[in-house]
């Protein structure tokens, strides 16, 4: 197939969202460290077609192409089409020879990186609850934006736990980092400006969320599940 050849189409199971397949192809390809050329070779198609799928929001490849792409990217067609987006991570089987490894403090901070989505556990007036939220790592602390009347704001002046994890469904491995510390509202104007400038994006939940909360760590620990090859 040449790069100018119209994309293959066919009978595709219902439920997919136009544009999502291309983004999933690109994300998984980058996770595996594959170029478009390498992905195309694995899937038996042309690099130009991989580019077309990744960059064209209306691209809808046929089922045969989806099967080959899923195999090339070590994933299921169901996952490639976004069927797992409403399911919790880790629904696959455990690997045959997993090993649990403790992460060093430095490795924990590397995995927390600069920003992402984590979960804060708060022991509030109504009991213990866990809330997912966007966070940033700035100056050795976890910081997140919320609204004064929102649930994450009840963490202020309490001791909380903050957790982040990553799961590789295809390889049945992953990691998690747990940080415990004291949550405080950020009131210093200079610090607020710094956090606003360094924040990667607005909170995914949207709305007016101008209140910054910081978590100063008391402890941090992490674990990683790896799969040992046989022989």
Structural domain includes residue 201: yes
Report pLDDT for 51: 93
Structural domain includes residue 93: no
Report the number of distinct structural domains present in the chain: 2
Report pLDDT for 17: 42
How many other CB atoms sit within 10 Å of the CB of residue 66? 24
Helix, strand, coil % in the chain, rounded to nearest 5: 30, 30, 40
Structural domain includes residue 218: yes
For the entire predicted model, the pTM comes to 0.66
Structural domain includes residue 4: no
- CATH number, domain with residue 55: 1.10.260.40
Do 116 and 66 reside in the same domain of the chain? no
Cα atoms in the 13 Å half-sphere on the side-chain side of 84? 14
- CATH number, domain with residue 143: 2.30.110.10
Most confident of the ranges 1-10, 31-40, 196-205: 31-40
Do 137 and 223 reside in the same domain of the chain? yes
Summarised one tens digit per residue, pLDDT across range 83-106 is 766 667 766 677 777 888 999 999
Q: Which domain holds residue 65?
A: 20-80
pLDDT score of 194 more than 70: yes
Cα angle 158, 161, 140; round to 5: 90
Residue 222's pLDDT band, with cuts at 50, 70 and 90, is very high
Summarised one tens digit per residue, pLDDT across range 126-157 is 789 999 999 999 999 999 999 999 999 999 99
Structural domain includes residue 3: no
Q: Which tokens belong to 109?
A: 């901070």
Structural domain includes residue 9: no
């Amino acid at each position: 197939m040449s790069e100018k050849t119209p994309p293959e189409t066919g009978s595709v199971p219902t439920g997919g969202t136009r544009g999502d397949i291309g983004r999933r192809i690109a994300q998984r390809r980058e996770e595996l460290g594959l170029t478009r050329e390498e992905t195309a070779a694995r899937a038996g198609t042309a690099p130009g077609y991989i580019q077309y799928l990744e960059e064209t929001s209306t691209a809808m490849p046929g089922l045969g192409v989806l099967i080959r792409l899923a195999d090339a990217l070590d994933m299921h067609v169901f996952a490639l089409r976004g069927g797992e987006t409403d399911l919790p991570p880790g629904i696959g089987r455990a690997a045959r020879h997993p090993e649990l490894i403790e992460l060093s403090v430095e490795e924990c901070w590397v995995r927390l990186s600069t920003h992402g989505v984590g979960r804060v556990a708060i022991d509030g007036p109504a009991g213990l609850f866990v809330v997912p939220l966007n966070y940033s790592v700035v100056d050795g602390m976890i910081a997140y934006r919320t609204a004064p009347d929102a649930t994450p704001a009840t963490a202020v002046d309490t001791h909380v736990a903050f957790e982040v994890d990553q799961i590789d469904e295809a390889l049945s491995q992953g990691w998690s980092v747990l940080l415990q510390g004291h949550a405080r509202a950020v009131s210093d104007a200079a610090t607020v400006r710094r956090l606003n400038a360094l924040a990667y994006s607005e909170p995914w939940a949207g709305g007016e969320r101008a209140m910054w909360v910081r978590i100063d760590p008391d402890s941090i620990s992490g674990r990683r599940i790896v799969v040992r090859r046989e022989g």
